[in-house]
Structure 1
Amino acid sequence: MISSPDTPTDARILRLNLAGQPIEWLHWKEAVCLHARELVCWSLGGIVRKVYGGRSRLSGLRTAIELPAIIACGGSRMAQVRMVPPLTNAALFARDDYQCLYCGKYFTAAGLSRDHVLPTSRGGKDRWVNVVAACRRCNQHKGNHLLSEIDMELIALPYRPNTAEYLALINNKRIRGDQMEFLRPQFSRHSRHKG
């Protein structure tokens, strides 16, 4: 199996279930396997990669599979949409656009930390709706206080991204225009990335 050299090796393919709900990002090799097992039911978007196989004994022609940017797959086990995306710092910082939600300044990931709006020491949970990106200075200043106890305010409310937004957040450096065009209308109404 040889892939075409003119396509980036890190391009990902968006996998959907039969209902058109986004499920996960696939490496091109995983997408080839789904095509070979005839599990791809429909597709959208431009071609991400062209993969060449062997030559036909009958015709002498080389086989090729063109992998589109978005594929919907069936099978005996229909893929389920993840209801609560995993909470990671990388996804959290991307959700908050690498902005400290206390002082409003922008930082690199190394300059941010996860802050619990309701501190864990006071019963707060490590959940999307209770965490925000905070610069180290603001996080340290807030400590385990409630916002009502100190002179600090949030500039935006925390929210849980839905699956479509989460997939865009975790792949934001390598997402194609056609993939984003498919995902963006499905983002949560609270999303800062909807526009």
Structure 2
Amino acid sequence: MKVLKLSAQGLPQSWISLEQAVIHYAAGEVRWESGAQIARFRGGHNAISGEQSVIAINSIIGTKGVPSINPFELKPSLTNSKLFARDRNVCAYCGGHFHEEDLTREHIVPFARNGQDHWMNVVTACPLSLPNCSPLRSCKRKSPWKPRGFPKGKKLVALTSLSHQFVWPPMTQGSCAGLVERNV
């Protein structure tokens, strides 16, 4: 049986064992509790009063202290829907605009060359462009092939300076003009 440990502000921290929950109770770290009582632990007897110590464990506890999960360090999971939204449903190879169900995820550095499945190594591609581009992406090449319109040395996300925002991919169909500069 597990106990849901929350920060004092109510942010979920982790599922903990009953024994770990007892330690929080005994150390006086439980600020509030909720849910039903799920266990009762009995301890020793007090030498002066003769009373036995008892700790009742609830299913949800809020503990004192700073949360161990920092919401600013959380990274969004990589899904095809999020990738296609990032790339605005534009194929990185031909520059065409497609519906989400017609697109696929393509790795810039292929898995065969130790490419990773993370945001900086994937682009949106249409199925029609993949057969035409696959020979260019041979694993024997020394450097990974870059999608059309992908500026060398730049990231696949919006780069923002104080006065300008650079967005990739370009929004014009069939264009390979590189970054589109917009005044902010």
TM-score (structure 2 length as normaliser): 0.42
Q: Which fold has the larger relative contact order, with Cα–Cα distance below 8 Å and residues 6 or more apart in sequence?
A: 1
Structure with the higher helix share, 1 or 2: 1
- Greater strand fraction, Structure 1 or Structure 2: 2
Q: Provide the TM-score with structure 1 as the length reference.
A: 0.40
* Larger radius of gyration between Structure 1 and Structure 2: 2
